[in-house]
Amino acid sequence: MALPQFMLEAAAGELGVTEQGCNNRGARIEDYQRATWLPAGSWPWCAAFMAWSLARALVRLGVDFEHANTWRCRDASAFGWISWGKRSKGCLVLVPGLRPQPGDIAVFDFNGPTAAGGGHIGIVESADDWQSFTTIEGNTGPAGLRETQDGTDGVFRKTRSSKSAVNFIRLPEYVR
């Protein structure tokens, strides 16, 4: 197996984890947040969940810890992952309209690029047709929303419209 599959497995292993206590909080959420450059706190954690999943995948792939932390994305914003993908060795940033593959990272813009917190991110689990795909996402509500304010967010499987993604990031199979 390769990096995209390992990342997808890491994310899938977290399905059902939810916030504890209040919005954007809980011990597991803080674990995800610590995978970014920011200290853990009460902030949206969808990109942190991707950073955590990528870190676990790199370990499983056997990448040296120091090299993994230098190479991987540690950005806490969804849109920051697009910038990382463009400058990272081996990644491809795909334009909308292309059919994603399992293991691709989907970056969404539900509220417009200038809206506070408008970005969201998840990992593609499957793409059965050109109209929609299934993702695993952190910091998403059980009813299908990007994020709620009632502390019920967690790691859930979502079906998203292909039109909702602004970019897909295709990871390399291996990191050298």
Is the residue at 99 inside a domain? yes
Distance CA 31, CA 95 (A): 31
Is the residue at 97 inside a domain? yes
Q: Name residue, tokens 């081996």.
A: 90
Pick the more confident residue, 143 or 53.
53
CA distances from 85 to 39, 81, 130 (A): 23, 6, 23
Is the residue at 176 inside a domain? no
Is the residue at 175 inside a domain? no
Is the residue at 157 inside a domain? yes
What's the average model confidence in pLDDT over 124-138? 92
Domain span at 51: 3-170
Residue closest to 29 by CA, chosen among 8, 44, 9: 44
Per-residue pLDDT at 32? 98
The domain tally of the chain equals 1
What's the average model confidence in pLDDT over 141-154? 71
What's the average model confidence in pLDDT over 147-153? 70
Is the residue at 143 inside a domain? yes
pLDDT-based confidence at residue 150 (cuts at 50, 70, 90):
low
pLDDT exceeds 90 at position 120:
yes
CATH code, domain carrying 129: 3.90.1720
Per-residue pLDDT at 113? 52
